[in-house]
Amino acid sequence: MNNIVAIVGRPNVGKSTFFNRLIQRREAIVDSVSGVTRDRIYGKSEWNGKEFSVIDTGGYIKGSDDIFEAEIRKQVELAIEEADAIIFVVDVEEGITPMDAEVAKLLRKVTKPVLLAVNKVDSASREKDAFEFYNLGLGEYFTLSGMNGSGTGDLLDKLVEVLPELPETPDEEEVLPRFCVVGRPNAGKSSFINALIGEDRYIVTDIAGTTRDAIDTRFTKFGFDFNLVDTAGIRRKAKVKEDLEFYSVMRSVRAIEHSDVCILMVDATRGFESQDQNIFWLAQKNRKGVVILVNKWDLIEKETMTMREYELRIREQLEPFTDVPILFISALTKQRLLKALEAAVTVYENRKQRIATSKFNEYMLDLIERFPPPALKGKYIKIKYCMQLPTPVPQFVFFANLPQYVKDPYKRFLENKIRENWNFSGVPIDIYIRDK
Annotated binding site for GTP: 9-16, 56-60, 119-122, 183-190, 230-234, 295-298
Q: Sort residue 102 into left (φ over 0), alpha (ψ -120 to 50) or beta.
A: alpha
Distance CA 217, CA 405 (A): 49
Residue type, 408: D
Residue 164 CB neighbour total at 10 angstroms: 9
**Whether 258 contacts 229, CB under 8 Å:** yes
List, as residue ranges, the binding site: 9-16, 56-60, 119-122, 183-190, 230-234, 295-298
Task: Quote the strand ranges of 215-317, DSSP E.
Answer: 215-219, 226-230, 261-267, 289-295
Distance CA 130, CA 282 (A): 36
Angle (nearest 5°) at CA 144 between 138 and 145: 140
Residues 6+ apart with CB under 8 A from 402: 376, 379, 381
DSSP string, 346-405: HHHHHHH----HHHHHHHHHHHHHHSPPPPBTTBPP-EEEEEE-SSSS-EEEEEESSGGG
Give Dmax over CA atoms of the chain in angstroms: 70
Residue 38 CB neighbour total at 10 angstroms: 16
